[in-house]
Amino acid sequence: MAAQHSDAVTAAIADRRRLVNEALPDDVPIVFPERLYEASRYLLDAGGKRLRPTMVLLAGEAIADVDPLSEDYREFPLAGGIDLMAAAVSIEIVQTFTLIHDDIMDDDEMRRGVPAVHEEFDLETAILAGDTLYSKAFENLLETGAAAEHSVRALSELAATCTEICEGQTIDIGFEDQDAITEAEYLEMVERKTAVLYGASAAMPALLAGADDYVDPLYNFGIDVGKAFQIQDDLLDLTASTETLGKRRGSDLAENKQTIVTVHARQQGVDVTDLVPDDDISAIDEATVEEAIERLEAVGSIDYARDLAHDHVASGRDHLQALPDNEARDRLGDIAEYFVEREY
Amino acid sequence: MAAQHSDAVTAAIADRRRLVNEALPDDVPIVFPERLYEASRYLLDAGGKRLRPTMVLLAGEAIADVDPLSEDYREFPLAGGIDLMAAAVSIEIVQTFTLIHDDIMDDDEMRRGVPAVHEEFDLETAILAGDTLYSKAFENLLETGAAAEHSVRALSELAATCTEICEGQTIDIGFEDQDAITEAEYLEMVERKTAVLYGASAAMPALLAGADDYVDPLYNFGIDVGKAFQIQDDLLDLTASTETLGKRRGSDLAENKQTIVTVHARQQGVDVTDLVPDDDISAIDEATVEEAIERLEAVGSIDYARDLAHDHVASGRDHLQALPDNEARDRLGDIAEYFVEREY
């Protein structure tokens, strides 16, 4: 990606992140009982790149064919005027609820540089905070002011997406006890665990506006780049520095997680399970991790994953051709590139 | 309650329970990944009285002014025909998801005579099963075939109800560290933790049919009898036999839970915290529990709770006067009585 594109996409995300951050306290206010809402807001307030709500907002600008950041997201010129920000926040809320529950399941102690919600508060409060955000996401999506028949479709999409995320998580957990996962199985898991929420993000403005022609192209764009996003996440676990990751690299290998890299390596005859022979990365010396990664590089698995991520980005960008040719559409394409270029 | 009423209400619940039980596998099928859906269905299939879905179905019959059980719940004659059973199942799904997550929070090992979901499966699967049922409830409520503007109101009610349940749980947990809870505070907690789902159950047919005149009376009926239900639950913990309860009576006292009985007793100067001086009921001999309950009886707290439950039932039944005078409405009133007469 050329430097100017890189700057444009960084700015596009930063501008919308700021607006989303401003909107969050309005849409998820801290009310009685305060402890519940403080826990619900804790991870929301701890940061995050806000990539999914950014995608909602940009997709809205693309199909409304307006200049980026020229319109008030709270009174956005689609279908007579809708609160597009409410939909964007709704998606971020869903993402946050899944993280809170994931951290309980994985017993992860840190998230976004702060203690996980179940660490900062307690298990009960963390489960309830996740459950509260879950319904808040639906409540918020009901506040866009869209026509009822469009709201119903948007809610249906959000509910189906939440179900699929749970399915994807379950499939992913099941993979840890299986050796021979095919690439198709891996990609199906990633589609549900990660990509459907990007699909819902991109399609949401079209659903709320009843802009039927744009629903499928935007959804498919989100699915493709969502898969690319996850593949890049898998790659970063192997290639990024400990400093950038905030944890030791290779931890997925230690935990025997299935990634596209390990799926490919197994097909090349690599005994992936024994590459890093301990569940706990902190018990492994750096040389062993280095050697494992060199082996994955040698059999071409890292390049294969990188190529596959780029293929998905290209496929995703193709779907955008169905949209009006405008700056917002270009930024959506840039974000897709950013997903596979990012280093954290 | 006269014996003939009692028989009629028992039959009314049993008939609808059977139909709800038949509907569940259609509305929550076991699909891939099977482990997730087996866990999601586990507690649903373990039984339950189905009081909330029964209330949905009876309220529908009352406002449609049709003879009980004379119509197909899947093509129910309200607003041109809706799948009322889908709404009833949706409510039961919400109740089940809260139980699965509650059992994790309380680390309860048994529920409905079978191991809790996190015991039968594992913590990860139980959290995910609850989360899956959560979105399934919304998906199901979108399948009633109601007009979009009515579906939106029904979904909004369901989402708000889920949020309030989480709030009520949080308030209840907070009570365990507080001594002086007022009756108003207790009833506010019960309204959110328990009663709002009964309110939503009763109001749901009117919301889906756009029968605006019946929404508030039915909601308020549900709120009142939901509170009565919870007060009766609190009473049963003190008055029912260990055999009926499936656990030692007095366990709420041991765990220092706030109930209307303890709130009242404290106002009479009873040192409730020391009545059963251990967190674990199994460490307490039966004589101590017996003595504690006699003390609560002596200061009038048990009678007070019983009267309060009956007052709420009477208030709830008054709201039903706004409905057409028919057999289904009578059965709704009978169910309210059943809530405070039941012995388990």
- Residues A118-129 pLDDT 10s: 999 999 999 999
Instruction: Give the pLDDT mean for B275-284.
Output: 80
Alpha helices in B65-176 (DSSP H): 84-106, 117-120, 123-141, 148-175
Residue B39: partners with Cβ closer than 8 Å, 6 or more residues away:
B117, B120, B121, B125, B126, B128, B129
Instruction: Give the pLDDT mean for B157-176.
Output: 96
A7 pLDDT band (50/70/90 cuts)? confident
Q: Which residue has the tokens 């700057």?
A: A7
Does the beta-carbon distance from B155 to A142 stay under 8 Å? yes
Chain B partners within 8 Å of A127 (Cβ):
101, 104-105, 127
Residues of chain A above pLDDT 90, percent:
82
Instruction: Give the pLDDT mean for A131-138.
Output: 98
Does the beta-carbon distance from B36 to A170 stay under 8 Å? yes
Contact status of B270 with chain A (Cβ, < 8 Å): no
In this predicted structure, what is the pLDDT of residue B101? 97
In this predicted structure, what is the pLDDT of residue A2? 53
Residue B60: partners with Cβ closer than 8 Å, 6 or more residues away:
B73, B76, B78, B84, B205
Does the beta-carbon distance from A167 to B134 stay under 8 Å? no
Residue B161: partners with Cβ closer than 8 Å, 6 or more residues away:
B94, B196, B197, B199, B200
Closest residue in chain A to residue B150, using alpha carbons only: A148
In this predicted structure, what is the pLDDT of residue B282? 79
One-letter amino acid identity for B230?
Q
Residue A28: partners with Cβ closer than 8 Å, 6 or more residues away:
A37, A40, A41, A44, A89, A93, A133, A136, A140
Does the beta-carbon distance from A163 to B139 stay under 8 Å? yes
In this complex, the residue of A105, A127, A128 whose CB is nearest that of residue B124 is: A105
| CA–CA min distance A214, chain B (Å) | 21
Contact present, A188 and A171 (Cβ < 8 Å): yes
B1 pLDDT exceeds 60? Answer: no
In this predicted structure, what is the pLDDT of residue B100? 97
In this predicted structure, what is the pLDDT of residue A319? 98
Least confident of A12-16, A176-180, B198-202: A176-180
Chain A partners within 8 Å of B208 (Cβ):
none
Two tokens, residue A247 = 């944890």
Q: Which residues pair with A111 in a beta bridge?
A: A114
In this predicted structure, what is the pLDDT of residue B2? 53
**C-beta pairs of B305-310 under 8 Å, 24+ apart in sequence:** B305/B231, B305/B234, B305/B235, B305/B259, B305/B260, B305/B261, B305/B264, B306/B235, B306/B340, B308/B231, B308/B260, B309/B227, B309/B228, B309/B231, B309/B232, B309/B235, B309/B339, B309/B340, B310/B228, B310/B340
Instruction: Give the pLDDT mean for A29-39.
Output: 98
Using alpha carbons, list the distances in angstroms from residue B108 to B62, B100, B113, B119, B259: 38, 10, 12, 9, 19
Chain B partners within 8 Å of A166 (Cβ):
36, 128, 131-132, 135
Chosen for mutation from A125, A134, A197, A255 (greatest number of chain B CBs closer than 10 Å) is: A134
| CA–CA min distance A187, chain B (Å) | 15
B278 pLDDT band (50/70/90 cuts)? confident
| CA–CA min distance B153, chain A (Å) | 9
B85 pLDDT band (50/70/90 cuts)? very high
B288 pLDDT exceeds 70? Answer: yes
Contact present, B83 and B145 (Cβ < 8 Å): yes
In this predicted structure, what is the pLDDT of residue B5? 65
In this predicted structure, what is the pLDDT of residue A249? 85
> What is the helix, strand, coil percentage profile of chain A, to 5?
75, 0, 25
Q: How far apart are CA A162 and CA B139, in angstroms?
A: 10
Contact present, B214 and B63 (Cβ < 8 Å): yes
| Average pLDDT of every residue of chain B | 94
Q: How far apart are CA B316 and CA A8, in angstroms?
A: 61
In this predicted structure, what is the pLDDT of residue A271? 92
Does the beta-carbon distance from A170 to B127 stay under 8 Å? no
One-letter amino acid identity for B185?
E
Closest residue in chain B to residue A138, using alpha carbons only: B159
In this predicted structure, what is the pLDDT of residue A17? 98
A4 pLDDT band (50/70/90 cuts)? low
Chain A partners within 8 Å of B135 (Cβ):
134, 159-160, 162-163, 166
Instruction: Give the pLDDT mean for B172-195.
Output: 93
> What is the helix, strand, coil percentage profile of chain B, to 5?
75, 0, 25
Q: Which residue has the tokens 């021979």?
A: A180
Q: How far apart are CA A220 and CA A316, in angstroms?
A: 7
Contact status of A151 with chain B (Cβ, < 8 Å): yes
pLDDT digits (tens, 9 = 90+) for B12-23: 999 999 999 999
Q: How far apart are CA B138 and CA B146, in angstroms?
A: 14
Closest residue in chain B to residue A101, using alpha carbons only: B127
Chosen for mutation from A97, A166, A176, A191 (greatest number of chain B CBs closer than 10 Å) is: A166
In this complex, the residue of A105, A142, A162 whose CB is nearest that of residue B156 is: A142
B147 pLDDT exceeds 90? Answer: yes
Q: How far apart are CA B319 and CA B217, in angstroms?
A: 5
Longest dimension (CA), chain A: 61
**Nearest-5° angle of CA A40, CA A45, CA A50?**
105
Does the beta-carbon distance from A104 to B125 stay under 8 Å? no
Chain B partners within 8 Å of A142 (Cβ):
152, 155-156, 159
| CA–CA min distance A314, chain B (Å) | 30
Q: How far apart are CA A217 and CA A221, in angstroms?
A: 6
B133 pLDDT band (50/70/90 cuts)? very high
Contact status of A32 with chain B (Cβ, < 8 Å): yes
A223 pLDDT exceeds 60? Answer: yes
Instruction: Give the pLDDT mean for A265-294.
Output: 88
Contact present, A218 and A202 (Cβ < 8 Å): yes
In this predicted structure, what is the pLDDT of residue B75? 98
In this complex, the residue of B128, B135, B173 whose CB is nearest that of residue A170 is: B128
Taking alpha carbons only, the member of B17, B47, B50, B51 closest to residue B337 is B51
Domains of chain A: 3-335 (1.10.600.10)
Residues of chain A above pLDDT 70, percent:
98
**Nearest-5° angle of CA A57, CA A226, CA A140?**
40
Instruction: Give the pLDDT mean for A181-201.
Output: 97
Does the beta-carbon distance from A162 to B35 stay under 8 Å? no
In this predicted structure, what is the pLDDT of residue B3? 57
Instruction: Give the pLDDT mean for A281-293.
Output: 87
A3 pLDDT band (50/70/90 cuts)? low
Contact present, B16 and B53 (Cβ < 8 Å): yes
A276 pLDDT band (50/70/90 cuts)? confident
DSSP B27-96: HS---SSHHHHHHHHHHHHT----HHHHHHHHHHHHHHT--TT-S-GGGBSSTT-B-HHHHHHHHHHHHH
